[in-house]
Amino acid sequence: MQGFVNQDFKVIWRVLERHLKQCYSVEGISIKSIRLYKQMNYLGKHTLIKASFFCCFSLLLVLLVGLFPKLSIAQNQRVGTDITSLNIITKANPSNSITETRGDSEFEGKSFTLNFLGLTQSIKELSFESGKAKVEGNTPARVYVQRKPSTDTRQLAWYFGTLNPESNGFTFLSSGPLSEEQLFSENNILAGYDNVFTNTGANVQNRPYNGNASIERLDFVLENPIQSSDNTGFVVLERGAVTGHDGFKIAAITGINPSGSPTSYGSVFTFEANSWGKFPLVTPIPQTYFVNNIADGGKGIPKNPALTIPAGQTLGGVLIRTGVMAMSGQNIYGYSIFGIDVTCSSTELTNIQNSCFPSETGTNGGIDLPAANLGAVSLQPGV
């Protein structure tokens, strides 16, 4: 399914509506009068009505031609195409075990052994509804995490795995434990970052748990800028229910300063909850566990087991062509994603201290990203 653009079409419709009303009352002839004349086969003013109507209709065509070129390509198209399948490469890395790891929330008061099997499942290629994209040869992106306040060090993660309740031992498929940088920067779908934009109120089935943090915006800054086109795209993946995924907003970065911070953005696009990622990309669906760093004082790598994620959550994703995010040929330096409740304009997006970045985002900010940072991918010719 698709995400859709902001307020421009509403503005256009109001203008057209005003002009339509004027058209239907040309020369003082109302809509009711036109209907009455037609019913009575009255032809005396038929020519006048017809001429007035077509004259006004021509004006509307001129209005449309004048308005739509002012819209970006993105505002004339649906935004985003669901990913339908992933071509995965599995690699075995050294395993690792951590003993005497304190639990939190659901597992508070217990100690656990965490066994990381050391697997990495990387995306080699992805298919979507109208083609394919190869990850090889992509333009890599570095991730910058923007927090409010910046001093908050809470971190949240998830892993596919199992729990042996008799031995209090978790076995996670991935390498680990992964740092925040790894969780946002690797190409590994076996783990990821949980509740990315949730500031408060984290709960599962009305049971609160320590799943809140302070991230307001994630900046994926490309190593080298690319030009907006229909031949490149950005990929957003999420772990969630088969029927849909958490909402988010996204905008292309159209300018950066020497330190890599965004200085300008393209239009803001919205992907509502349950409107995208309709194809399950991981089957059979594995069990997932949530970890944080709260039992360790909110510092360091997230590794404190805190929650059993409800069963039935898989990965879903969407590909967004860069050609719909900015004018064709415009330089794009990356993209930023942020919470569904952010109300910033493109100009306001550059500063997370602005009030349009709410500090009390609830569970609607709970997007769960896998550790699959693909940067900008190239679409195969002909798609």
3-class state of residue 291 by DSSP:
strand
Cα(106)–Cα(170) distance, rounded to whole angstroms? 14
What is the pLDDT, as a whole number, of residue 129? Answer: 83
How many Å apart are CA 324 and CA 252, to the nearest integer? 10
For residue 50, the one-letter residue type is K
pTM of the model: 0.80
Residue 73 reports pLDDT greater than 70:
no
pLDDT band at residue 56 using 50, 70 and 90 as cut-offs: very low
Residue range 345-378, pLDDT digits in tens: 999 999 999 999 999 999 999 999 999 999 999 9
d(Cα 321, Cα 112) in Å, to the nearest integer?
44
Report which of 278, 282, 98 is spatially closest to residue 191, judged by C-alpha positions: 282
First to last CA, the chain: 18
The tokens describing 167, both together, are 């031995």
Q: What is the mean pLDDT of the chain?
A: 84
Please check whether residue 194 is in contact with residue 348, taking contact to mean a CB–CB distance below 8 angstroms. no
User: What's the confidence (pLDDT) of residue 243?
Assistant: 80
Closest CA to 375 of 344, 338, 335: 335
Mean pLDDT of 41-56: 38
Residues 306-328 have a mean pLDDT of 96
* Residue in 320, 140, 318, 317 with CA at minimum distance from that of residue 230: 320
Cβ neighbours around 269 below 10 Å, total: 23
Query: Can you point out the beta strands (E) in 103-177?
Result: 111-128, 131-139, 141-147, 156-164, 169-174
Residue keyed to tokens 């003082």: 28
**What's the mean pLDDT in 236-264?**
95
Select from 335, 353, 352, 362 the least CA-distant residue to 142: 335
CA angle 117, 120, 121 (to 5 degrees): 130
User: In angstroms, rounded to a whole number, what is the distance separating the alpha carbons of residues 332 and 229?
Assistant: 10
In percent, how much of the chain has pLDDT > 70?
79
The pLDDT of residue 41 is 39
DSSP per residue, 79-117:
B-EEEEEEEEEEEE---EEEEEEEP-GGGTT-EEEEEEE
209 or 79: which leads in pLDDT: 209
Question: pLDDT value at position 52?
Answer: 42
The angle that helices 8-23 and 46-67 make with each other, rounded to 10 degrees, is 160
- The pLDDT tens digits for 215-236 are 999 999 999 999 999 999 999 9
What pLDDT is stored for residue 200 in this prediction? 97
What is d(CA 330, CA 323) in angstroms, rounded to the nearest whole number?
Answer: 9
Please say whether the beta carbons of 262 and 350 come within 8 A: yes
289 forms beta bridges with 159, 308
Q: What is the pLDDT of residue 244?
A: 80
> Any idea where the domains of the chain sit in the sequence?
8-71, 74-379
pLDDT at 78: 59
Strand ranges (E), 272-311: 288-292, 304-308
For range 94-100, the mean pLDDT: 97
Per DSSP, helices labelled H in the chain are 8-23, 31-39, 46-67, 180-185
Q: What is the mean pLDDT of residues 264-283?
A: 96
Q: How far apart are CA 379 and CA 324, in angstroms?
A: 14
Q: What's the pLDDT score for residue 72?
A: 35
